Amino acid sequence: MSAERAFIDSLRALASDPAARGLMDDCAVLEIGNEALVLTHDMLVEGVHTLPGQDPADIAWKLVAVNLSDLAAKGARPLGVLLGHMLGPGDDRFAEGLGEALSRYGVPLLGGDTSSGGPPRCWGLTAIGRATHRPVPSRTGATAGDTVWVTGPLGAAMAGFEALRDGTDSDSVAFRRPLACLAEGEALAPLASAMMDVSDGLLLDASRMAEASGVTLALSSADVPISVPEARRADALRWGEDYELLFTLPAGAEPTVSAWRIGEVRQRGEAPLLLDDRPPGGPLGYEHDWDRSAPARR
């Protein structure tokens, strides 16, 4: 078990309020009268989620996008964000990129906090949204007989990271400035039995959905759309950071947005995840570890 999973498990007893969803989801859902607020918080860490010398404007953009992606997986409409910012070089560029991202999504900055510290630097963002459909989608609703879908090709962020790292002329925008699938999430919320975004790798995130729902997700590797050469298919299934939506639909239902069917939900077997009818070998995706001797994010 990774250090990340072990720590989250240790917190479950503290997260007893129903809004926490047992820490089985990326968002909290706070019911208030006839409305439901959806809240999430994600961090970016220098050297883990970013490359040395990366443009702070791109870091700010990504910080916004990854948090709004969590809201998208709940079909939530963003209401505002709170920023946690560690001061340092390039703060003017960070503010510029933050403004660009918030303008792109029409989301206001509501407040936050600043601090000195680092290196490494870290940045956090809390995003607040309003649910557009009740019940709010979760990871826990997949049932045997459902179909499994993804909203778009995978691998562009991996290719973008490699282009930025290697200083090539290839397009790196998918890694630097990802987009949250807010419209798709809102459209799918009334239909999906389970939904989450693909942040840590399709295989790892599908395994998490299966564990939360108590089922087995059986995926067909050939049916997963990728945006990199076929020789990189296995890498694209594990790399993550594409922020597409992974979701399940009841048998016979069809998505109302562009999406690819990539598998089916089965009764829980020996493994939570099957790839081409076998448990996938090796690491499924990225999980954090506190050990400084362990390899960094990428």
Q: Please write the tens of the pLDDT for every residue from 252-289.
A: 999 999 999 999 999 999 999 999 999 998 888 876 55
Distance of CA 138 to the CA centre of its chain: 13
260-267 and 194-197 beta bridge pairing = unpaired
| Mean pLDDT of all residues in 52-80 | 97
**This prediction's pTM:** 0.91
What is d(CA 63, CA 98) in angstroms, rounded to the nearest whole number?
8
pLDDT in tens, 128-177: 999 999 999 999 999 999 999 999 999 999 999 999 999 998 899 999 99
Please write the tens of the pLDDT for every residue from 226-250.
999 999 999 999 999 999 999 999 9
CA–CA distance from 74 to each of 210, 235, 277 (Å)? 17, 27, 29
pLDDT of residue 271: 95
CA distances from 151 to 8, 72, 89, 194 (A): 28, 12, 37, 14
Residue ranges of domains in the chain, CATH in brackets: 3-131 (3.30.1330.10), 147-275 (3.90.650.10)
- Cβ neighbors of 256 (< 8 A, separation 6 or more) are 187, 188, 191
Sheet-wide strand order for 245-249: 194-197, 245-249, 147-150, 260-267, 215-219, 273-275
Helix (H, G, I), strand (E, B) or coil at 21: helix
219 has pLDDT over 70: yes
Query: What count of Cα atoms within 13 Å lies in the side-chain half-sphere of residue 275?
Result: 17
The number of C-alpha atoms within 13 Å of 97 and in the hemisphere containing its C-beta is 20
Q: Show the DSSP H helices in 12-79 as ranges.
A: 56-72
Predicted confidence at residue 293, as pLDDT, reads: 36
pLDDT at 127 over 60: yes
Helix axes 56-72, 91-105, angle to 10 degrees: 30
Rounded Cα distance between 204 and 198, Å, is 9
Q: What's the residue count for the chain? A: 298
